[in-house]
Amino acid sequence: MLDAFAGAAGLLLTGDPTLTHIVGLSLRVSLSAVLVASVLALPVGAALALFRFPGRTGVVVLLNALMGLPPVVAGLIVYILLSRAGPLGSLGLLFTPQAMVIVQSLLIFPIVAALTRQMVSDLWVEYREQLTSLGASRVRAIPSLLWDARFSLVTALLAGFGRAVAEVGAVLIVGGNIDGVTRVMTTAIALETNKGNLSLALALGVILMGLTLAVNAVAFAVGEFSRRRYGV
């Protein structure tokens, strides 16, 4: 066991190329997924907070439920869509990093959208009369509310990133854990542990834990900054 820890420390300190490639790919995939999901989820969440329409309650309940979407189910859905016989099979995306971005976006979208809806909803209660008085329609209020909720929304985005980077089942199904192509931290840890190569698994585990800590530290720092700077 001590050998495994020593080996992990060696990999971390020497910047092992395999290790850095896996970490780099993980970050690229998860950050891309956060970006894609956010572009869609922020306006959708805000619109759900501001507009009333038939079936809205059902949509909100569904969105909240999808926050707990099992990753393997998401992986299965995307696999079926992208497989050669599937509706998007002609795109040839299965077992590529792009497929992993798609499946992670699917997992992040409900988290960011549901949290955005709640945050914007709370802010709308406070701002509604003022913005209406200033002449802002609900559509024009959306970017204003998203901007004013920006510090809270960073936490939602970080929660999405945390979910994506720590996810294993979905990326394993649609990525295939191909060495040098679609192998990310979580799938590599699972594989190397099965193979008994605990050094690499431990080194990746340390980085993953470090990332989790960093994400939480950033969320905390953003909250503190907003409290000090804006009194919120």
CB of 116 to other proteins, least distance (A): 16
Q: For residues 108 and 163, is the Cβ–Cβ distance under 8 A?
A: yes
Tokens 């780099």, residue located: 24
Radius of gyration for the chain, computed over Cα atoms and rounded to the nearest angstrom: 20
Helix/strand/coil percentages in the chain, nearest 5:
80, 0, 20
Q: Does 52 bind other proteins (CB under 8 A)?
A: no
Q: For residues 189 and 8, is the Cβ–Cβ distance under 8 A?
A: no
Choice between 193 and 226, CB closer to other proteins = 226
CB of 120 to other proteins, least distance (A): 13
CB of 232 to other proteins, least distance (A): 6
Buried/exposed 52-90: b ≥16 CB within 10 Å, e otherwise: eeeeeeeebeebbebbebebeebbbbbbebbeeeeeeee
CB of 56 to other proteins, least distance (A): 22
DSSP 157-180: HHHHHHHHHT--HHHHHHHTT-TT
Choice between 135 and 196, CB closer to other proteins = 135
Alpha carbon separation from 101 to 7, 155, 165 (Å, rounded): 31, 20, 11
Residues 150-189 that bind other proteins (CB under 8 A): 150-151
Distance CA 216, CA 159 (A): 9
Choice between 126 and 179, CB closer to other proteins = 126
CB of 230 to other proteins, least distance (A): 5
Residues 112-151 that bind other proteins (CB under 8 A): 126-127, 129-130, 132-137, 140, 144, 147-151
Choice between 16 and 148, CB closer to other proteins = 148
Choice between 115 and 149, CB closer to other proteins = 149
Q: Does 232 bind other proteins (CB under 8 A)?
A: yes
Q: For residues 196 and 1, is the Cβ–Cβ distance under 8 A?
A: no
CB of 10 to other proteins, least distance (A): 48
Q: For residues 47 and 142, is the Cβ–Cβ distance under 8 A?
A: yes
Q: Does 231 bind other proteins (CB under 8 A)?
A: yes
The residue count for binding other proteins (CB under 8 A) is 22
Choice between 15 and 231, CB closer to other proteins = 231
Site of interaction with other proteins (CB under 8 A): 126-127, 129-130, 132-137, 140, 144, 147-151, 226, 229-232
